Structure 1
């Protein structure tokens, strides 16, 4: 069997297992005992448990897997694929669609004419390296071309926070890039800042990256840490000051569309990810959109994330605006 066919069969099995909950069908694909395989196995089972806890029924799964690049050595093949997964879920007689676009890396080993997976992980997923205040995020230009010919939502000044406009922006650009803005390798906070600005939150301009909340695009583009770094935005929201005048809430259930969730995956007080609430499910729990692992209508808790740890903490913010 050629490795491309093996990879296709694996993701077909993943989708089928998502539907019926029988993840044991994936075991023949794995080389048991490998730590990279165990992490992915644990992630899949966390996702299964969370669906059961929520009382959600998975009605349909569609996916597309495209090999992007691969390195072929004498013993192994390391392949990076783009995995677009679309789910239709039902809960309390209502339906909604969740979508995630991931870069996924598989390490394959062939022994006795049979392929097996010895490593599986998300590439450039939810887990972020902590960006120190003096470091700048890295810009990537891939993906910008897809958005060049698409219409943009225009921000007409600021007169308070219009959550509906912020949500509309999050829905429009969850899996693409507004060409007005740069795209970063870790793009989650840049995306959330764009959503807030589209909702009418005005920039606080400054000449210093450590002050205000702003971005200058075009030639010589620059930006504040609070616009692009997850922990810096968290600190601004926590302050309750302008321009968001956010109010911290005690639980996810208190949030409404347009509000923000911050994620501390390691539980060490440094927040590494941000999402925006775009809807609530039939249990009145938030569904969120995000970048880096581009996600639409994803359940807020992120227990299906490769960045998940048992120590994960959240911060919930209602956005009031000026």
Structure 2
């Protein structure tokens, strides 16, 4: 479909009119974006894997993973992108033929947000279709290892952008078993990348202070909000005065490898998705890796994401090297 920006190959097999209309709108947005980038799609390969299926005589509900490789030519150079999209299909059999009656994107690129009425230690998914709650009480201190590091220690680190990018490319389509996998884990993944690049954790033991991940203790996962929540993450990066910190720049042109982009999909002022810069296209624009919808070398703007809206706002965060 991305080759000719049309849903025509899909339309005869899908009865979900809302899905088809949404997909056509996204393809038209993508076409406009590609024209501005002088990008010509030449290949779109998709491999399907059935994750789970509930089969009944006349109805099937299947969760599928679509591993997509998208290749385009930009200014005479080849640019390749990969992503893994998760969908739920509903099929019904009528007159001995199977019909796809509904398609739903099940991986939302809307990260966790903090809800003021959720009580202490609650995280909720931004998208109600991807509702996820984790109740973990905030504690004064976990142990002496989690006491705040002196500023002199935090100032010593040097951010290794190569190692951060290598980690992002190693784990873009998988989960490092050293960390807990969240249902919506885009920001946790970016935190892992920065930590792999040498960024020091700022242990405080308080969930709303510092930037840290401790792991599982007595059956509870313990981490700061800034580790796993995009809005808290971007606030920490720009407010921090020692250790891991970032400076906001005005344009994606000003970013380099290992920098961060955060996304406010609906212009509300709350950022819901995080990515890390891992490459650049022939125009010099950033390409990013991300989780939730696992992506490698995806164009930074996310025009073709179901989460994107015309109100989408971005923050471009340059990580301070030392």
TM-score of the aligned structures, taking structure 2 as reference length: 0.82
Q: Could you tell me whether the CA contact under 8 Å between 2:215 and 2:222 is conserved in 1? A: yes
SS in 1 for 2:113: coil
Q: Could you tell me whether the CA contact under 8 Å between 2:86 and 2:105 is conserved in 1? A: yes
Task: Report what 1:9 is aligned to.
Answer: none
Task: Report what 1:61 is aligned to.
Answer: 44
Task: Report what 2:171 is aligned to.
Answer: 173
Equivalents in 2 of 1:242, 1:39: separation in Å? 44
Deviations 1:81-103 (A, max 9, x none): 01111122221122232100121
Structure 2: gaps (5+ residues): 125-131, 135-153
SS in 2 for 1:184: coil
Larger CA deviation: 89-98 vs 110-119: 110-119
Q: 1:77 to 1:38 in 2, by over 3 A?
A: farther
Q: 1:285 to 1:229 in 2, by over 3 A?
A: same
Larger CA deviation: 123-132 vs 196-205: 123-132
Q: 1:53 to 1:106 in 2, by over 3 A?
A: farther
Q: 1:40 to 1:192 in 2, by over 3 A?
A: same
Equivalents in 2 of 1:240, 1:110: separation in Å? 57
Q: Which has the higher helix share?
A: 1
Picking from 88, 92, 104, the partner of 1:105 is 88
Deviations 1:106-159 (A, max 9, x none): 22344444443332221123134534373147699xxxxxxxxxxxxxxxx962
Q: 1:64 to 1:136 in 2, by over 3 A?
A: same
Picking from 47, 58, 61, the partner of 1:78 is 61
Superposition pairs of residues 40-55 of structure 1, within 5 angstroms: 40-55=23-38
Q: Could you tell me whether the CA contact under 8 Å between 2:6 and 2:27 is conserved in 1? A: no
Q: Which has the higher strand share?
A: 2
In the TM superposition, residue 189 of structure 1 has moved relative to its aligned partner by: 0.6
TM-score of the aligned structures, taking structure 1 as reference length: 0.82
In the TM superposition, residue 305 of structure 1 has moved relative to its aligned partner by: 0.6
Q: Could you tell me whether the CA contact under 8 Å between 1:83 and 1:102 is conserved in 2? A: yes
Equivalents in 1 of 2:230, 2:177: separation in Å? 21
Task: Report what 1:272 is aligned to.
Answer: 272
Q: 1:242 to 1:119 in 2, by over 3 A?
A: farther
Q: Could you tell me whether the CA contact under 8 Å between 2:48 and 2:64 is conserved in 1? A: yes
In the TM superposition, residue 255 of structure 1 has moved relative to its aligned partner by: 1.0
Task: Report what 1:135 is aligned to.
Answer: 122
Larger CA deviation: 162-171 vs 272-281: 162-171
Q: Could you tell me whether the CA contact under 8 Å between 1:40 and 1:120 is conserved in 2? A: no
Equivalents in 2 of 1:124, 1:131: separation in Å? 19
